[in-house]
Amino acid sequence: MDWWLLTFFLGAILSLFLQEVPALFQLFLLLCLAIGFYSHKKLRYSSGLWFGALWILAQAYLYHNLLPPPLIELMENKQPFFIEGEVLSIQVKPPNMLSEHIKESAVQQKANSTKRFNFLVNKINQQLLESPMTLRLSWQKSTIDLAQGQRLSLNVKVKPAHGLANIGTFNYLSWLKAHNIVATGYVVNPRKKKDSNYQEAEYLKSLKANKLLIADITMRQTLFEHYQSLTPNHKLTPILLALAFGERSSLNTDLWQTLQVTGTSHLIAISGLHVGLLAGSAFFIVMLFVQYIPLRNPGWQRINSRYIAIAVSLLLATAYAYLAGFSLPTKLALVMLNLYWISRVVGIKISAKRLILMTIFILLIISPFSLLTASFWLSLYAVAIIFVSLWRFKSWMNKGGYFWRFFKALFIIQVALTVMLMPITALFFQKVSLVSLLANIIAVPWMSVFSIPTALMSVVLMPINESLAQWFMMLSLQSLTWLWYYLDLLSELPYAIISLSLTQQLIVLVVGNVAFIMLYLSPFLWTSRGVKQVTFVLLALVLSVSLFNFYYPSMSSVNTNFWSKKEKTPKDDIDFQAAFGFTSWEIIFFDVGQGTSVLLKRDNQAILYDTGAAYPSGFTMSDAVILPFLQYSAIEKLDKVILSHSDNDHVGGLDTLIENISIDEIISNDKTLYNPTKALLLNDLSTTENLNPSSMRLTDCQPNNSFSWQGLRFDILWPLAWDSSDESINRGKQKNDDSCVILISDQQGTTLLLTGDISSKVEQKLLKIYPQLSVDILQVPHHGSKTSSSQPFLSQLSPKIALVSAGYLNRWHMPVPIVSQRYHDSKIELLNSAELGQIIITVDEKGITTQNYVNDLRPFWFSH
């Protein structure tokens, strides 16, 4: 049985490495293969491999076919439609509304903040769906006070699930699939229109209005709002809400930073630790209660007290998991807890190995896409490390008195978890906390003994006595305050946390494997069976590294130097070529939606052209895409940042870049974009020593400022030089035709033209000024709008490859069909970031090589 469960798990994992989800007929063939293996006695225990792959791929097939074709057509045409369904996400009420009763507050009101929530849809345009589906919606200036469990009728615009596709960054699409969300969008508020016919206007308004159909809400939302109304005004109140209900949206940046730097984020995410602590405490308390309190009724004596304790333990653990929204770690803990108690009741002995395998099997049946989440792997790995540590150091931990054994076990498990979780943490989050052991060795027992129990007691007592519940809240907050002094102190230490490039992650992974072998397997490698075990371990190590390379095939596309090159390189073309010969260079065309950002990289040095957009919510493409890729590629600074023009989708992320990475020079004609004084203020709290905004140069984008860099020639073609003394020229806000156009060429003559958002008017001027202009690679002007990419421009430039940066199903329909057809007719390969994700072009002595995220960098069905 163990082998079948293991092969089921392996089959589920291997199914993730397919590029596309198989068709229905192929899934049927896979089912026949699985049944065939199961029918053969010798192959039966290996049939789990095919059943595991079939289960995951069948769920993926159902997910990809959940959206009906008429709905997809509405989405592609950007048409709004009405949906009916239920709010799934718990909602945090503003402080000024906490005193209101929930049913009274569930009326039409105006709110300034944008609300984001998951919505289970069962009707579209009054048509009942065969299978309900989950959407992720945002609602700006919502007219209804949302609450979990409400049924609403909403007018929405949505798109099929999609996300930015860049290596080294968070994959939003995988996150959506893991949560079974098939589309994302926003709620459309009805426009106010004046109409002479008042009754007709009101009728039309009522048709378009977003309505509350049923005001009933869930018990979890009711308890949460009641609890939130009782919490005191304290800076650590968000931590208390996270411990009690798993609601972390109210945590501010400072709290998150302290938790991340000290490696204690897991303590506020309700997980196996919290559920296990509650279940174990409930069991022992009930056992003590039954043992020491005399029960005169003889009927009680015929009942096994363990059954009562187990029932209470399971009941409270399930209730706590419900309050936490049945998150994946709580599901894992609940499944394992149920299996353990059932085995004890039935009298069946289950080994730790079988317990883990059965837990994985049941969890994959319940939540098949949990394989796509970091929390699944972290929780599973942590449980496995705990069991292995208890087995490996059992003899040493059993020596001494009870309390001494307890502290030894606590110390060993905490050290093992901290050290062994480093590789997988580095893999998922690209960071490693160097103070994690010091933080967790105090924080875990402290929170387990004081903070978590008092927080749970406040929840249990809330329906009984509010004053007593508030007293336990204060106890929990006081314990957290004392602990927070310690965590803040650790977080302020230099190099408390380090960011890792791709190669550094690989090195940490290999070191982690070696540490595991030395700590857990070394005593068994010198026995008579040692040779076989060594061979098995080496094969496992080779397999893990091979899978890492397969999962990150883009290693060859980015610089993987562990140490960044510090030596200065000649800037002149001739000196560079004489010193180094021809070295390859890369054009990284980021997927930043409806915006532009291009990174030029050679020998671990880089120049950035445009930064993508910034949004009112605080989200920037620099934070989400550019900075993570620079870290992933071990690039520590930018030699230059070139800004084409002033539009937000091209320069919105500049401030974020200045705050987080060193920049030697900014090239821009808009003097309002960069203010050295402002930059210094932004970096007052920065811990990055090499940031020095005051030394950053600001240069105009003019032909006379053309330059050479790393053997590449940067010729500024447009705009032409102007008289700086002429005040009539607007040096502030720029138009599309003011875009900085740059021709980049290497020693072999390979050329790239960056065009910004110029129109056909400027294209004609460029052809007139530079009649011999031709290029190999072209950045499509203005995202492929109908005002650019004129036929004469394409005919003279005759590029081999054209790169267009556009948002997925953007409202301007860019690149417009007529422009796409123009490139096709000219036999120019048009690569669209909305379809292919990030595009990396490598230029070397052999010529031009193109890779993209969807087909080459991450060619897996769950990531695109």
Confidence (pLDDT) at 642: 96
Q: Classify 324 in phi/psi space as left (phi over 0), alpha (psi -120 to 50) or beta.
A: alpha
Strands 127-139 and 81-87: unpaired
The last residue of one of the domains, among 319, 347, 376, is: 376
**In whole angstroms, what is the distance from residue 718 CA to residue 705 CA?**
11
In a domain, 516, yes or no: yes
pLDDT value, residue 150: 95
Q: Domain boundary at 376, 409, 429, which?
A: 376
Q: Report the half-sphere exposure of 121 (CA within 13 A, side-chain side).
A: 30
Determine, yes or no, domain membership for 251. Answer: no
Residues 154 and 133 in one domain: yes
**Three-state DSSP state, 812:** coil
613 and 684 housed in the same domain: yes
Whether the Cβ atoms of residue 739 and residue 772 lie closer than 8 Å to each other? no
Both 548 and 605 in one domain: the answer is: no
Burial of 574 (0-12, 13-18, 19+ CB in 10 A): exposed
350 with 213, same domain: the answer is: no
Determine, yes or no, domain membership for 386: no
Distance CA 501, CA 559 (A): 9
As for how many domains the chain has, the answer is 5
Q: How far is CA 348 from CA 339, 474, 630, 744, 827, in A?
A: 10, 44, 53, 72, 70
* Cα pseudo-dihedral 724, 730, 735, 736, rounded to 10: -10
Q: Within a domain: residue 330? A: yes
Q: Half-sphere exposure of 804 toward its Cβ, with a 13 Å CA cutoff?
A: 26
Pair (93, 145) in one structural domain: yes
pLDDT at 207: 52
Asked, for residue 32, whether it belongs to a domain, the answer is: yes
Same domain, 780 and 675: yes
Final residue of a structural domain among 217, 246, 281: 217
Q: What is the pLDDT of residue 298?
A: 59
| 101 and 52 in a common domain | no
Largest CA distance in the chain: 105
CA pair distance 833, 592, nearest whole angstrom: 8
Lookup: tokens for 356: 């883990």
Q: In terms of domains, do 684 and 811 share one? A: yes
Amino acid in the structure at residue 299: G
| Distance (Å, whole) CA 65 – CA 365 | 19
Cβ–Cβ < 8 Å for 426, 500: yes
Q: Is residue 483 part of a domain?
A: no
Q: Is residue 227 part of a domain?
A: no
Q: Which residues of the chain register pLDDT less than 70?
A: 94-112, 192-208, 292-304, 522-581, 675-695, 721-733
Neighbours of 650 (CB within 10 A): 27
593 with 706, same domain: the answer is yes
**Model pLDDT, residue 173:** 94
What contacts 24+ positions apart, CB below 8 Å, involve 489-494? Answer: 490/261, 490/262, 490/435, 490/438, 490/439, 491/257, 491/258, 491/261, 491/262, 491/435, 493/435, 494/687
What are the residue ranges of helices labelled H in 347-465? 352-366, 374-392, 394-397, 402-429, 436-446, 452-461
| 129 in any annotated domain | yes
* Domain match, 614 and 756 both: yes
| Residue matched to tokens 């030596």 | 567
**Residue 638 and residue 614 share a domain:** yes
Q: Are residues 632 and 511 in the same domain?
A: no
Q: Which of 761, 765, 763, 768 is nearest to 779 (CA)?
A: 763
Angle (nearest 5°) at CA 21 between 17 and 22: 110
Q: pTM for the whole thing?
A: 0.86
Provide the domain limits for residue 189. 69-217
Residues ≥6 apart with Cβ < 8 Å to 780 = 755, 788, 789, 802, 803, 804, 805, 815, 819, 823, 830
Task: Look up the CATH number of the domain holding residue 616.
Answer: 3.60.15.10
